[in-house]
């Protein structure tokens, strides 16, 4: 089975990404498909799912263009406006025919409005996504979004909800217990899956021991068959780099059985995003 990174970003600063203005200086660069390919190849990763990093059409079009040019792009999770079902459906009509378009996401954690996930437009979009087989990714869902995401998954059982970055587990003990309780509630719905990704802290080397508690909790809640491994590059350049973070995460996965390792390293992502299981092994650059 191919090793698939279920969560990777690209961006060109000239195309937007205004949130970079307040981001770590190391992230204020262009992160291209060529740079990503080099990181994946060095880490022994065969393919990756590109995930939106800006709430713009241009970001999604750029990722789809990369998927046309590079064989290592297994799928694309693009943007649609969750608060505008009509426009979202139009974009799904446009992008859904692309063979690598595999899901949607919006940067809801940066939106100050509460309740968007359970409002009428999102409910309508959830039904459309379920009908078309596209999962909904949710970034940084704790503490603002996880409960609503759980309710949305319960209301729309045909929709696959992907909790990115394990919803960002906190380090504080009291907050951690609340997160663990809410994560377990989300996992009670079989149509909710999660990504072990984005657990690094800027400016600190990433160590598996730092996330052991969150890892054990996620395994207990979801089991390996509903978890995916994601490197979250280039966000990891502030925490030791892609290879170092992937190595630490892989060490946790290595503790599992062969079948469980296969699920986390590609099986779950292939099933959830309906990826081509016959894709190429190894990163060779341009197709």
| Residues forming beta bridges with residue 193, ordered by sequence position | 162
Is pLDDT at 188 greater than 80 in this prediction? Answer: yes
The residues, ordered by sequence, that sit 6+ positions from 31 with a Cβ below 8 Å of its Cβ are 9, 10, 11, 233, 234
pLDDT of residue 177: 97
The residues, ordered by sequence, that sit 6+ positions from 174 with a Cβ below 8 Å of its Cβ are none
Report CA-CA distances (Å) from 185 to 12, 93, 207.
38, 33, 27
Q: How many CB atoms lie within 10 A of CB 161?
A: 24
Is pLDDT at 281 greater than 90 in this prediction? Answer: no
Average pLDDT, the chain: 95
Cα 35 from Cα 201, distance rounded (Å): 22
Cα 187 from Cα 221, distance rounded (Å): 6
- Reported as a single tens digit per residue, the pLDDT across 88-145 is 999 999 999 999 999 999 999 989 889 999 999 999 999 999 999 999 999 999 999 9
Confidence of residue 286 (pLDDT cuts 50, 70, 90): very low
DSSP 286: B
Confidence of residue 287 (pLDDT cuts 50, 70, 90): very low
pLDDT of residue 226: 98
Q: What's the whole-number mean pLDDT along residues 151-161?
A: 98
Helices (H) and strands (E) in the chain, counts: 10, 8
The residues, ordered by sequence, that sit 6+ positions from 16 with a Cβ below 8 Å of its Cβ are 54, 56, 58, 59
pLDDT of residue 52: 98
| Residues forming beta bridges with residue 103, ordered by sequence position | 77
The residues, ordered by sequence, that sit 6+ positions from 227 with a Cβ below 8 Å of its Cβ are 193, 194, 195, 196, 218, 219, 263, 264, 268
Rounded to a whole number of angstroms, the distance between the first and last alpha carbons of the chain is 20
Confidence of residue 74 (pLDDT cuts 50, 70, 90): very high
Is pLDDT at 153 greater than 80 in this prediction? Answer: yes
- Reported as a single tens digit per residue, the pLDDT across 219-275 is 999 999 999 999 999 999 999 999 999 999 999 999 999 999 999 999 999 999 999
Cα 87 from Cα 2, distance rounded (Å): 35
Q: What's the whole-number mean pLDDT along residues 39-60?
A: 97
Domains of the chain: 4-272 (3.20.20.140)
The helix (H) or strand (E) run that includes residue 222 is helix 212-222
Confidence of residue 203 (pLDDT cuts 50, 70, 90): confident
Instruction: For 47-72, give the DSSP string.
Output: EEEEE--SSSHHHHHHHHHHHHHBTT
Whole-model pTM: value is 0.96
pLDDT of residue 249: 96
Cβ proximity of 103 and 136 under 8 Å:
yes
pLDDT of residue 285: 53
Phi, psi values for residue 189, rounded to 5°? -90, 120
Cβ proximity of 206 and 250 under 8 Å:
no
């Amino acid at each position: 089975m191919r090793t698939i990174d279920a969560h990777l970003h690209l961006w060109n600063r000239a195309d937007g990404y205004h949130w970079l203005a307040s981001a770590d200086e190391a992230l204020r660069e262009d992160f291209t498909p060529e740079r990503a390919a080099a990181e994946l190849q060095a880490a022994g990763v065969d393919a990756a799912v590109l995930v939106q990093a800006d709430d713009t059409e241009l970001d999604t079009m750029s990722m789809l263009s990369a998927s046309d040019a590079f064989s290592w792009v297994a799928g694309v999770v693009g943007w649609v406006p969750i608060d505008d079902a009509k426009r979202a459906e139009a974009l799904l009509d446009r992008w859904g025919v692309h063979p690598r378009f595999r899901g949607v996401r919006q940067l809801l954690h940066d939106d100050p409005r509460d309740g968007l996930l359970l409002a009428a437009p999102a409910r309508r979009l959830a039904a459309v996504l379920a009908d078309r087989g596209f999962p909904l990714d949710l970034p940084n869902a704790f503490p603002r979004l996880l409960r609503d995401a759980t309710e949305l998954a319960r209301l729309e059982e045909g929709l696959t909800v992907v909790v990115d970055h394990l919803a960002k587990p906190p380090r504080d003990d009291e907050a951690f217990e609340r997160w663990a309780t809410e994560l377990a509630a989300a996992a009670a719905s079989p149509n909710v899956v999660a990504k072990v990704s984005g657990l690094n802290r800027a400016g600190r080397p990433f160590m598996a021991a730092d996330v052991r508690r969150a890892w054990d909790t996620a395994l207990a809640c979801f089991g390996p068959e509903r978890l995916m491994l994601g490197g979250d590059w280039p966000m990891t350049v502030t925490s030791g780099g892609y290879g170092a973070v992937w190595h630490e995460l892989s060490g946790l996965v290595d503790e599992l059985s062969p079948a469980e390792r296969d699920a986390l390293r590609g099986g779950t992502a292939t099933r959830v995003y309906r990826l081509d299981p016959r894709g190429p092994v190894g990163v060779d650059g341009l197709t």
